[in-house]
Structure 1
Amino acid sequence: MKASSSDRPVIRPLPTIDRARQVTDALADYVQSAQLKAGDRLPAERELMSALMVGRSTIREAIRHFQALGVIETRKGSGTYLLKPVSKATIHMPLSLDTGHLRDALLQTLEVRRGIECEACMVAARKRTDKDLILIEQNLNEMERVHIDKGTSGPEDLAFHLAIYDATHNPLFRQLLEQMRETFWQFWEHPFEREDFARRSFPFHRTLFNAIAARDPEAAREETLKILEVVEEDIKEMSK
């Protein structure tokens, strides 16, 4: 016999800090405590907004996080459904770096980023579709526009790389980035309080796009390495 709605676990309001992360954790807790299984429907967006006392944009950010991890899907006109059970232990990768030493943390993260980024760009060059290419170029154009106007383009730079990850058509690349987002985000937050950090890598984003457009994996790898070489040089130079 199916339990009535009154028997379901209660989703409780959140404190006022770290909303997006807390919504993600609250949803994972709800899935676990309600013993939801693959195929079960999650509460509606409006119900979550009311229960958690947060805005629509915060709920949607949490939903996008779960979608990127491949654990839920949204069906138009039907709702959001669980693809696989989750818990707080499975939605956050326990990365451990000594952020008190920014230089070392950035260099260690860069070693991981170099491997993932090069492979993703090579795969994208092989598998990208015309639609993918349009989206990558749209993000690149916006990155270039903001860079020219402001001299910096952190979020737009990240959006460009995310579009390349999506063009691999391998969800694991996006899932890895989502799990490591907090660590990787250090590269787009003006390390060492320098807005010119990695600015010299700006032209190589266009040549990387050109390599992907030409379906040239080796050229895509080379252009990615040029970007990351500038990043490494600036880490070492700016941390002196």
Structure 2
Amino acid sequence: MTEPVLSPDPVSDDLAALPPLGRSRQIMDALARYIQARNLQPGDRLPPERELTAALKVGRSSIREVVSQLSALGIVEARIGSGTYLLRQISAETIYMPLSLSADGLAEALLMTLEVRRGIEIEASIAAARRRTPEDMARMQEALEEMERTHHREGGSGKADFAFHMTVYDAAHNPLFRQLLEQMRDIFERFWDRPFDRPDFAARSFPYHRTLFNAICAGDTAAAAEETRKILDVVEEDIRNMRP
């Protein structure tokens, strides 16, 4: 991938020196504002460390600490000899929650993430059924059709499945749904790429994505919750059946 060219405007145009207290949080907020002001996209490179230290009037160790925190959150990636790259968009309003997962084996980890996903996704589907707009439904339909094409072609849907669910979160019009799931994305993807070496894992849940879409489109909150619950019940059953 060709490295993006940074704007020729001085970094200091969108960054200013910081007071001495609470540096880590201030640096993180300043970088978020900078990313938003420059409209940086995933894959874009952040300014070099020396430019950040000069603009913010902080030490390099403080910059490195914040880059390490953002890397742990899956927001940036530091590449040796190349620089620091944005992995996902953030803004000054983004809430950061460092997440970690320790479990005895793949199945246990999947069940732990599923418990969290169950609570968030059912509520998100209810909110989406109440608040969805025609534009939301168009994006959701496009994502669903891509998921269905991927499923028929490959027997599973992987990232296309996740992308569909993200359109449901967006249709809920509560940014916390997307923020929470985005910050758990790395945990999900680490285990869900090819769990148990089965690309068709949880394929039985596939038909319920279309019925979930229909429920949200109809504004039926009870049906949206029920179809989401069906998806997650199938996933849980498959995990338990595959445990050693």
- 1:96: Cα distance to partner? 3.0
CA distance in 1, matches of 2:28, 2:178: 28
**Please, which of 28, 31, 36 is the counterpart of residue 30 of structure 2?**
36
Contact 1:158 1:188 in 2 (8 A): no
Contact 2:101 2:187 in 1 (8 A): no
* 1:234 and 2:238 are equivalent in the alignment: yes
CA distance in 1, matches of 2:191, 2:27: 36
* 1:194 and 2:222 are equivalent in the alignment: no
3-state SS of 1:95 partner: coil
* TM-score, normalised via structure 2 length: 0.68
**Please, which of 211, 215, 228 is the counterpart of residue 211 of structure 1?**
215
Contact 2:106 2:191 in 1 (8 A): no
- 1:239: Cα distance to partner? 1.6
Matched residue type, 1:163: T
Matched residue type, 1:146: T
3-state SS of 1:91 partner: coil
User: Deviation digits for residues 95-147 of structure 1, max 9, x if unmatched?
Assistant: 3322x411111112111111111000011001000110000000000000111
Question: How many residues in Structure 1 have an aligned counterpart in Structure 2?
Answer: 192
CA distance in 2, matches of 1:174, 1:202: 22
Question: For 1:1-240, what aligned pairs fall within 5 Å after superposition?
Answer: 5=12, 32-33=26-27, 36=30, 44=38, 45=40, 48=45, 51=48, 53=82, 58-59=85-86, 61-62=87-88, 64=89, 66=90, 72=91, 83=92, 91-98=96-103, 100-186=104-190, 188-240=192-244
Contact 1:125 1:214 in 2 (8 A): yes
Contact 1:137 1:209 in 2 (8 A): yes
Return 5+ residue gaps in structure 2 as ranges: 1-10, 18-22, 50-81
- 1:153: Cα distance to partner? 1.2
CA distance in 2, matches of 1:228, 1:41: 35
- 1:185: Cα distance to partner? 2.5
RMSD over aligned CA atoms reads 3.3
Matched residue type, 2:106: L
CA distance in 2, matches of 1:35, 1:153: 36
3-state SS of 2:219 partner: coil
User: Deviation digits for residues 33-88 of structure 1, max 9, x if unmatched?
Assistant: 59839966778559945637359xx53x33x1x1xxxxx2xxxxxxxxxx35x8xx
- 1:94: Cα distance to partner? 2.9
